Amino acid sequence: MIYQRAIPADELFSAQLEMLMQNGRIATISANMLGVLATIVLFWQFVEITWLLLWACGVLIMLLARSLYMSNALVERSYQDRPRRVYWQLLLGAVITGAVWSTAYIAATFVAPAPVQYMFLLLIFMVITLSMGVTLALREYFIAHLFTSLWPIAWWCLAHYWDEANNLLVGLFTLAVCGVLLLVSNRVYLSFRNMIALNWEREAMSRELGDLTQSLRDRNRQLRDARRQLTDLANVDELTGLGNRRVVNQVLRDEINRARRSGAELSVIMLDVDYFKNYNDTYGHPAGDGVLQRLADLMQRATARAGEVVARYGGEEFILILPGASEHSALRTAERLKELVIAECIPHGTSEVSEFITVSQGVVTVCPGANLEPADLIKVADRSLYEAKDSGRNAIAFAGV
């Protein structure tokens, strides 16, 4: 992702058009409307009121049409899709508006005395000056309005200097005003361009930072997911989907500490499939894997309480961790698991205790003391499991600590 430090020329041009229409639409229309109202007040004694109102209505309609065009261009964003077309239409509107004022002044020289003419010229200066600050986002727009309004007035006065004593002075003064406004407009225009470029750079940087932040969030989420997957791979037995020995050690340590603090009991069931080696030799290891997966489902069905954990300890050995379970509750769980395994009726033709798969279970229940470690509890459960095997398998043996 590369940050672009300079605004492209086409984007700068579109931004100038947008700024002109957003800021200049209301200001220029308002300034010209005020000029029209002032013109009515100024000339109502010298021009028939009907013609004066007709002129004012025509100018207002033209101004409203320009405002509507700018509004539509902003809504439709045509200044981005067709910037050159919008540009020339805006210039045309500025030329027509300027021509309206210069034509009105020249016409006023035939009907109004010189003092009124000069007041009208000052009014035109005011309209142009008021609109200058918001129209210089696009220099050509202001220049078109300036030269079509004041330039013809200046040359008219110079060309008719003999009609009024002050026409020569007014013409020269008007040309001087055009020059001053042109110089000032150039400085203001450059300031507008710099402001637009600076705002664009800030927005571009903000977008880049936003994209970068989102990219970092996505990358962090991917890393969290990857860490979670790695943790699952490290803690989950691939064949059965149960926890592995690492999970057993961690859970036992946590549950021993919790039971030690609360004074509650903790039970563990160690389980082994009877004559599983014979089963693998007879039916094959894929079939043996299927048996382990079915047993994993049965053990999860046998443990319904919150916090109880089922894990594969190794080979055909499984372990059930039963927090808060008493001796009676743990033996009941073992009996339920034994019944579920028998009810599953998984054929085992080489078993010496049944024609179906059976399991041996060692149960241990403790109230953890200060020195009890997870390995100690597993040793007791494993010893209890071997007692169940020694008693003929398909059995449950209990040991207390």
Active site residues: 316
Instruction: Give dist(CA 22, CA 75) in Å, integer.
Output: 11
Alpha-carbon distance of 119 to 29, in angstroms, equals: 21
User: What backbone torsions phi and psi does residue 136 show, to the nearest 5 degrees?
Assistant: -85, 10
Cα distance between residue 8 and residue 134, in whole Å: 23
The residue with tokens 């705002």 is: 199
Rounded Cα gap, residues 175 and 154, in angstroms:
6
Under 8 Å between Cβ of 360 and 322: no
* Cβ atoms within 10 Å of 194's Cβ, excluding its own: 10
Expressed in angstroms, the distance from the first to the final Cα of the chain is: 64
Q: Is 392 left (phi over 0), alpha (psi -120 to 50) or beta?
A: left
Torsion sign across C-alpha atoms 156, 162, 163, 169: positive
Regarding beta strands 359-366 and 396-400, do their DSSP bridges make them parallel or antiparallel, or are they unpaired? Answer: parallel
Distance CA 361, CA 397 (A): 6
Cβ atoms of 333 and 320 within 8 Å: the answer is yes
